[in-house]
Structure 1
Amino acid sequence: MRAGVSTALLSWLLFSLDWQETWAALRGINPLFLLIDVLLIAAAVGVSVVKWRLILKVQGIGVSAGELWNAYWVGLFFNNFLPSSIGGDAMRIFLIGKNAGNTPGIACSVVVERVLATLGLAMVGLGASLFSGENLLNIRVLFIILVAVSLILAAVLVWGRIPNFLKRGNGKAAHFAGSFIQYGGCLGKKPFVVFQVVIWSAFFQVINVAVNYYLFKGLGITQVAFDKALFLIPATAAAAMIPVGINGYGIREGAYVALLAHYGVSRSLAFTASLLYAFLVSMCSLWGGILWLRSNRKIEGKCFGTTGT
């Protein structure tokens, strides 16, 4: 079903493109802007590592920044090459949970980080839209809903209580769920750290906006200033969260086309910007695939290695 939705939307957009305009824009793109974007994507991963480590420290789970850096790249790789963003989060939980010997705690940290990241996205988008001076009621309502849902989920994760049936349960599932909630409660005792993670999440979104902004400049899209991109790009990211397609494909591209059209950007250029962004992130995430292969080879070497004579 999801594959059908993404395929249908992408097909409709592809058939409606002005391919001459698309190829002209791609041929004329300045490689310097692509290099800047690669550096910004790496910086965004670095910010993600910082906020993830803040959560883990409060939970009393010691994991080096290097391990988190590698795991995040591997997760990004699986996000882009599996038909669900959950795959990347599962890989992060698996890799760090295995090394730390604490899967419930790591799982909790990943879920909390995801929820606070969504809150950061909504806050940036809402704030930028309020100061834009434009009539953006629909976009503001979208961000207000995201803020409300994120706050509710964060409150449940951070200040929730362990249900009695979990306290009485003896199975693995009950133990995992109880431990998960306990680790969330650690953050409830450190609200300032939660605030820090939200601020880092907002900074992450600003970097993501900058990635798109430099793509716009490279493609010759001059109608969208940075202050406008600060609410347009989070709006496309929010649209891509709607669970009706694969990894947001089709939904995100449609959002780019619809939102940028308001500023006089052609359908072809808007669609090209969206696909180029997805392509660039996917290519950068290949580094995570390399790290994954290297880690597997090390494991195989330990299991099947021979001793010297």
Structure 2
Amino acid sequence: MKRRDPIVPPMRSEAILPVPTRSGHKILPLLGKVGLTVALVGWLMSQADWAGMAHRLANAPLPPLLLGLGLSFLAVLFAGERWRAACRATGLVIGPVKALMLMAASLFFGQVLPGAIGGDAVRGWLTWKEGQSPGAVILALVLDRLLALLGVCLLLFAGLPRLAAVVPPDMAWMLPVLVLLGVAGFAAGLSIDRLPLPGALRTHRLVNAAFTLVARLRAAFLAPATLKALGHSVLVHICTLAATLLYARAIGLSLGPFDILAVMPTAIIATALPISLNGWGVREGTMVAGFALFGVPFEDALLLSLMIGLSVTLTALPGGLAWLALSRGSQSASGNAVSDRTHDR
């Protein structure tokens, strides 16, 4: 079955499943992630009182734990809706169930593969196999990733007053200022195709392709569906914050909602950085350091971070079933197409 525009560099099989390579430059980043993860997790484990943490968790009441896990699953639903809205903003039409399955499969591979980008590649590949335009799929992936980051940045600024109450203002504003600079730079980049550049440069093939992508991304940002996608992005992170609060209360921590709001957006941003294996170690270290500002002991903050990490893993597991269902559906559709062509002969 022919497909439009078969050359889709970001969707190569190498981007979906790790394959052996002779070039060391592809192995070194992975080794760096493994090294940092092992170092951080090893240090945290060596400092923790595991018997005390296990006792605290064993005595935690079950209802808030289950409710927190339920909120984590609810976050997956909102993430699926964010993907559907991002696709609509780029001209793709995907049903709610299909969008949820695509997002679930993406989250599953985001845990299995060394990095969230692998999960994005799987989602893009599966969406493309549904017969969608590869260019629009890539654009939707970029938009979805940016909106996920923008959503947590909004919560970062919402928690800034509480954070500024416990740390010096210059420290509290450090990350928000970097975010503002990044947003300003990105906004300027969206208008780069409107600069009065020389005609010879503008007509260059690569420059023209880049300007076309910028124009399409700008149009997608201005689409009405993008605002809806941003709302779902914020809801995803609110579910994570609410689950953190429930887990904290379950293990006896007296943290308030604004304490969670002051720490967790930074932890989410740090976890998203491609410097460790799926955020492990970085998330725990950030939460331990952040909640220490509010008087939370090391072991309690570490236990809380591990509970969040375990929730993320548990909510990603059903994505394996979603991937199998999507793969079988795609194979069935391909088989029907081949059968139809055979009968036409």
226 and 104 in structure 1: CA distance in 2 versus 1, 3 angstrom threshold: same
Does residue 184 (structure 1) correspond to residue 210 (structure 2)? The answer is no
167 and 25 in structure 1: CA distance in 2 versus 1, 3 angstrom threshold: farther
AA of the residue aligned to 1:140:
W
Does residue 97 (structure 1) correspond to residue 131 (structure 2)? The answer is no
Structure 1 residues 64-83: aligned runs within 5 Å:
64-83=95-114
Which residue matches 1:149? Answer: 182
AA of the residue aligned to 1:254:
G
Which residue matches 1:280? Answer: 311
User: Counterpart of 1:185 in 2: which secondary structure?
Assistant: helix
Spell out, residue by residue over 1:155-210, the C-alpha distance to the aligned partner (whole angstroms, 9 max, x if none): 635x55399778653xxx999867644531322543x5544433432232222101
TM-score (norm 1): 0.85
Contact kept in structure 2, 1:71 and 1:96, CA below 8 Å = yes
Spell out, residue by residue over 1:206-257, the C-alpha distance to the aligned partner (whole angstroms, 9 max, x if none): 22101111111122222x1011101211111122234332222111111111
68 and 301 in structure 1: CA distance in 2 versus 1, 3 angstrom threshold: closer
Q: Give the number of equivalent residue pairs.
A: 300
Counterpart CA distance in 2 for 1:200 and 1:249 is 25
Which residue matches 2:263? Answer: 232
Counterpart CA distance in 1 for 2:127 and 2:316 is 18
Contact kept in structure 2, 1:55 and 1:193, CA below 8 Å = yes
AA of the residue aligned to 1:92:
R
Spell out, residue by residue over 1:95-150, the C-alpha distance to the aligned partner (whole angstroms, 9 max, x if none): 11221421221111121121122122122122222256614432432123124314
Which residue matches 1:211? Answer: 243
Which residue matches 2:38? Answer: 7
Which residue matches 1:161? Answer: 193
Supply the RMSD in Å over aligned alpha carbons: 2.8
AA of the residue aligned to 2:186:
L
92 and 139 in structure 1: CA distance in 2 versus 1, 3 angstrom threshold: farther
Does residue 264 (structure 1) correspond to residue 305 (structure 2)? The answer is no
Structure 1 residues 283-302: aligned runs within 5 Å:
283-299=314-330
Does residue 202 (structure 1) correspond to residue 234 (structure 2)? The answer is yes
Unaligned runs of 5+ in 1: none
Counterpart CA distance in 2 for 1:10 and 1:241 is 17
AA of the residue aligned to 2:115:
S
Contact kept in structure 1, 2:89 and 2:221, CA below 8 Å = no
298 and 200 in structure 1: CA distance in 2 versus 1, 3 angstrom threshold: closer
Contact kept in structure 1, 2:81 and 2:100, CA below 8 Å = no
TM-score (norm 2): 0.77
AA of the residue aligned to 2:233:
S
Of the structure 1 ranges 284-293 and 235-244, higher mean CA displacement relative to structure 2 is found in 235-244
Contact kept in structure 2, 1:160 and 1:185, CA below 8 Å = no
Contact kept in structure 2, 1:212 and 1:277, CA below 8 Å = yes
Contact kept in structure 1, 2:126 and 2:326, CA below 8 Å = no
Counterpart CA distance in 2 for 1:187 and 1:49 is 18
User: Counterpart of 1:161 in 2: which secondary structure?
Assistant: helix
Counterpart CA distance in 2 for 1:231 and 1:34 is 22
28 and 253 in structure 1: CA distance in 2 versus 1, 3 angstrom threshold: same
Structure with higher Rg: it is 2
Which residue matches 1:126? Answer: 157
Identical-residue share of aligned pairs (%): 23
